[in-house]
Amino acid sequence: MSAEKRKVWVVGHKNPDTDSICAALSYAYLKNQTENDKTYVAKRAGAVNAETHYVLDYFGAQEPELVTYAGTQIKDINFRRTAGVSSQISLRRAWETMKKLEVVTLPVTNQFGKLEGIIVTKDIATSYMDVFDNHVLSQARTQYKNIAATLDGTIIVGNEHAYFVKGKVVVATSNPEYMADYIEDDDMVILGDREEAQKQAIESNASCLIIGGGIEVGEDVRTLAEKHDCIIITTPFDTFSVARLINQSMPIKQFMTQKNIITFGIEDYVDEVRETMSKIRHRDFPILNENGNYAGMVSRRNLMNMQKKQVILVDHNEKAQAVDGIDEAEILEIIDHHRLGSLETVSPVYFRNQPLGCTSTIIYQMYQEKSVDVPKQIAGLLLSAIISDTLMFRSPTCTPLDKSVAEALAVIAEVDIETYAKNMFQAGSNFSGKTTEEIFYQDFKIFHTDDCDFGVAQISAMSREELDKVAEQIRPFMVQVLAEKKIDMVYVMLTDILEESSKIIFDGENAGKILGAAFRKEERSEGILLEGIVSRKKQFIPTLMNEMAERQ
């Protein structure tokens, strides 16, 4: 069977907009069509907004799975998939299994795959070194077939699946006439080739005879054993060796650790696992899958050879906007249309950044370059992203290429751009039933300067009336955002798509002064209206950051 292909995440920024989601889906599809060595999977780093929901529903596309951390998980490393063993196997078999697999720990599981315990070489060594009384085999409920296997023997009379549950183990070395004095009901008797002694042990109601020396047992003895329901096991070992080996037939259940076992989940992050391991002196730890069933064993050595998650970033290249834990992942590619940000990579990556209105325009170009046909569904997703990011070509970020690509995609997707765009924007500006938090974070990004960290949310609608209602909800919430995100200032662009203007509301020390100075407007506590400003990327952020730079 061929090895499973390594998965690569294709993921957009936190608080994803339509371009972020559609670019991830479309680029993952393209990579899977052109590369065979890996599997590319679209992911999302935040909740899907109403506009994007409309797009996905309209074109029948599956919403990408949410991921909140890009750190390496247990499931990403090559942990050891040692099979679980039954609690009924003998100590000897457990030891042989450990030697064969070159491990020091065996997981003990039940028939349903649930972890019952673990047994380590130390447990087996302890069982050999400890001095037990001669009732320990029955107290451990040892199965006769385990005893036979441990002694390389054969059960010639009786049921191998039965258990030795009552009585003690005795070695019959005295004359037969004295055996009745020390053999009690249900005892297990180890003895040699003397037929007289064998019969006497059976008649003393022994439950099992272990006859050493590899001799053939007489028919009379067999018949008598069957009559008294007595098990007979023959073994090639002598009496001394049998006595020495027999305790190795006990089930591991008697010696395994069953309580306070340290386990890890298959979804656990390696950083947390490593910290736990540093405090506990175990060699191996069991791993449980999503259903709580045993999945394998992990050791410190496995963590040393771990592989980081591999990711492709679309529609962003700033660390603050990337999924948490991005420093612990291996970035393979970045496809974006924004200014260069703060991400650093350990190795060189494929980085494609073009001054276009939308990441999805770049991805359409890559379909053309790779000579891959754009399916109807993918065309619809790419078109929706371009319409959204360029506000149906009204944004100054929109280029002639964005518009021509959108027109070509509309033909494949079989939609009228103006009608579809109107419906899409209306779906996105339907704020009824949404919490203030959902409205605010549907398109929010954090930016950094040398002296300041600030956030900008953009909320678009088809009319100013809708936006004014939203503004009243948002104003008190911005104070909470400042505290939660640990930023100095926060701005909200309330963008009227049809009027091509944005009213900016704000909070944070000097936020109003910087905004007013940047756009040469009078500072107003209720907000500042900016005519012709609809692009956060091209119009708002650069102007704001230039003003901040002049104040340093």
The whole-number pLDDT of residue 390 equals 94
Q: What is the DSSP string of 14-27?
A: SS--HHHHHHHHHH
Domains of the chain: 6-71+309-420 (3.90.1640.10), 76-128+254-304 (3.10.580.10), 141-249 (3.40.1390.20), 436-551 (3.10.310.20)
Two structure tokens written together for 417: 């751009």
Kindly report, residue by residue over 415-461, the tens digit of the pLDDT: 999 999 999 998 888 888 889 999 999 889 999 888 899 999 999 98
| C-alpha span between 25 and 385 (Å, rounded) | 11
pLDDT above 90: residue 351: yes
What pLDDT band is residue 551 in, cutting at 50, 70 and 90?
confident
pTM, full prediction: 0.67
Which pLDDT belongs to residue 552? 66
CA–CA separation, 516 vs 508, rounded Å? 14
Give the pLDDT of residue 129. 67
Length of the chain counted residue by residue: 552
Among 54, 53, 64, residue whose Cα is nearest residue 27: 64
Give the per-residue pLDDT at 13.
95
Confidence band (pLDDT; 50, 70, 90) for 131?
low
Residue percentage of the chain with pLDDT more than 70: 98
Q: What is the pLDDT of residue 128?
A: 73
User: pLDDT digit string (tens) for 201-240?
Assistant: 999 999 999 999 888 899 999 999 999 999 999 999 998 8
Query: What is the maximal distance between C-alpha atoms in the chain?
Result: 118
pLDDT given at position 174: 64
- Report how far residue 279's alpha carbon sits from residue 275's, in angstroms, rounded to the nearest whole number: 7
CA distance 154 to 90: 16
Task: Tell me what pLDDT residue 277 has.
Answer: 87
pLDDT in tens, 526-535: 999 999 999 9
